[in-house]
Amino acid sequence: MAGGGCVAAITLERLTKVFADGTRAVSGLDLAIPDRCLMVVVGPSGCGKTTVLRMVAGLEQVTKGEIRIGERRVTRLAAKDRDVAMVFQNYALYPQMTAYENMAFALKLRKLARSDIDRRVREAAHILGIEDLLRKKPKHLSGGQRQRIAMGRAIVREPRAFLMDEPLSNLDAKLRVQMRAEISEIQHRLGTTTMYVTHDQVEAMTIGHLVAVMSRGKLQQVGTPQEVYDAPANLFVATFIGSPAMNLVEATLRATDGAVWADFADAHLRLPPTVLAAHPGLTRYVGHELVLGLRPEDMQDAAPAGDVPADQCIHAAVEHREMLGGEVYLHFSVAARAAPSPDAEAAQAAETVPSKAPATAGRVPFVARVSGRNPAAIGDKIDIAVDGINMYFFDLGTQRVIAG
């Protein structure tokens, strides 16, 4: 059906939206969605992601910048002339129409032959597995069934691009998991370029070929889900992508006896030579504070591992235990300075220089993701072994990752 081989990359150039009241929703956004790619635009509420989608759809006027779909500049075109199909959060089905009529409606407006309409509707229904629902009206359908009808209405149009605005947010957790897999499979089968907006980072990581992370109207990072997870560009991306979130704390780099250490609270972690080789820029921070990041899965109870050196451990008392079947989240805290709150504006305005920004020491919460068979109980004092290879370092001022 859709995706009939035509090039339909979506390109946004310096896209900006300022509303009448002066609110700047999107600022200078440059983004390229390759042909046949499913790109997820993710970010917290109010970051501008839905505004971007609505500008691409033609439902919101562009203040500045350009939008291209394939080679066509569509910035000033009406929505109906852009050859895109949108799937909404609230389904937007006509209640008085059957599922078949809802899916066929746009095709009737385009005055397609009845046989073509019937073929497209039944092909889409087959793809979505909803052939037995075509005679039913929305009030007799479940939320998941309504969402499939809404997707079918988009598919039958055979557009150059799909635009999806939080299409799964009204579904229960189990159905969201199922629908994520279905959307990914359908997009792969059809090959239609897709822009998918969500605030759910798990959804973004599981559906997207590429992920674009936004904050306060600005693009923070674009990459594959694995790239964004493994190599966050700044503190905001590091905290937003990942569940549980990355553990962050202010630390001081110290050079002693030919080695470099990250010190915070009563922890003194020795940085392996491979880490220093991979992050040569860290030498500039010796004697200065920075932000140290540790993923929960890179922290383990040292006891089952045997003799782990003290310079690879954090001594802690278990404060809370979350049992999740195959794994356990062990919550503890350290007496240290908390990392600054991620601030996209500050990160883009600050200069990249080592900082000695003052901060007040307190209790900084940490989470370690360990085996579900780990016996550590609330109140136990344990040594948490840190995977020194997978440490993250961020500049206090710019909040950017220290990579080189």
pLDDT bracket for residue 349 (50, 70, 90) = very low
* H-helix segments, 16-113: 49-57, 99-109
What is the distance between the alpha carbons of residues 343 and 44, in angstroms, rounded to a whole number?
13
Give the pLDDT of residue 357: 40
Query: If phi over 0 gives left and psi between -120 and 50 gives alpha, with beta otherwise, what is residue 7?
Result: beta
Q: Where are the domains of the chain?
A: 10-233, 240-394
Q: Which of 339, 326, 310 is closest to 370 using CA atoms?
A: 326
pLDDT digits (tens, 9 = 90+) for 1-34: 644 445 689 999 999 999 999 999 999 999 999 9
The one-letter amino acid at 156: V
> Cβ contacts of residue 356 below 8 Å, gap of 6+?
288, 289
The confidence score (pLDDT) of residue 361 equals: 60
Say which DSSP state 216 is in: T
From its phi and psi, is residue 129 left (phi > 0), alpha (psi between -120 and 50) or beta? left
pLDDT greater than 50 at residue 356: no
Question: How far, in Å, are 29, 149, 155, 240, 320 from residue 83 at the CA level?
Answer: 22, 19, 12, 33, 52
Mean pLDDT along residues 351-370? 66
pLDDT over 70, % of the chain: 93
Q: According to the model, what pLDDT value does residue 77 have?
A: 96
Of 200-214, 240-254, 338-352, 368-382, minimum mean pLDDT range? 338-352
pLDDT at 343: 67
Rounded to the nearest integer, the mean pLDDT of the chain is: 91
Note the Cα 232 to chain centre separation in Å. Answer: 11
- Please say if the pLDDT value at position 331 is more than 80: yes
Alpha helices in 87-243 (DSSP H): 99-109, 114-128, 143-155, 173-190, 201-207, 225-230, 235-240
Residues in the chain: 404
Query: In which residue are the tokens 């936004």 written?
Result: 214
Summarised one tens digit per residue, pLDDT across range 192-246 is 999 999 999 999 999 999 999 999 999 999 999 999 999 999 999 999 999 899 9
Q: Do the beta carbons of residue 49 and residue 41 sit within 8 Å?
A: yes
Q: What was the pLDDT predicted at 113? A: 96
d(CA 322, CA 371): 11
Banded pLDDT at 348 (limits 50, 70, 90)? very low
The Cα 228–Cα 209 span in angstroms is 12
* Cα maximum dimension of the chain: 82
What are the tens digits of pLDDT across the range 88-117?
888 889 999 999 999 999 999 999 999 999
Q: Please name the CATH architecture into which domain 10-233 falls.
A: 3-Layer(aba) Sandwich (3.40)
Mean pLDDT of 391-404: 91
Alpha helices in 67-113 (DSSP H): 99-109
Dist. CA 57–CA 53, nearest whole Å: 6
pLDDT attached to residue 359: 46
Burial 195-228 (b: 16+ CB within 10 A, else e): bbbbbbbebbbebbbbbbbbbbbbbbbbbebeeb
Give the model's pLDDT for residue 91.
Answer: 85
Which runs of consecutive H residues, i.e. helices, occur in 211-352?
225-230, 235-240, 273-278, 302-305, 344-349
pLDDT-derived band at 257 (thresholds 50, 70, 90) equals confident
What is the pTM (predicted TM-score) of this model?
Answer: 0.89
What residue type is assigned to position 21 of the chain?
A: D
Give the per-residue pLDDT at 211: 98
Dump pLDDT digits (tens) for 140-197: 999 999 999 999 999 999 999 999 999 998 888 888 999 999 999 999 999 999 999 9
Cα within 13 Å of Cα(351), Cβ side = 3
Range of 44-58, 271-285, 342-356 with top mean pLDDT:
44-58
Residue the block writes with tokens 């090039």:
7
pLDDT at 258: 87
Mean per-residue pLDDT for 293-303? Answer: 94
The closest of 83, 76, 66, 87 to 12, measured between CA atoms, is 66
Q: Is the peptide bond before 375 cis (omega within 30 degrees of 0)?
A: no
- Res 266: pLDDT: 84
Question: Which pLDDT score is estimated for 1?
Answer: 60
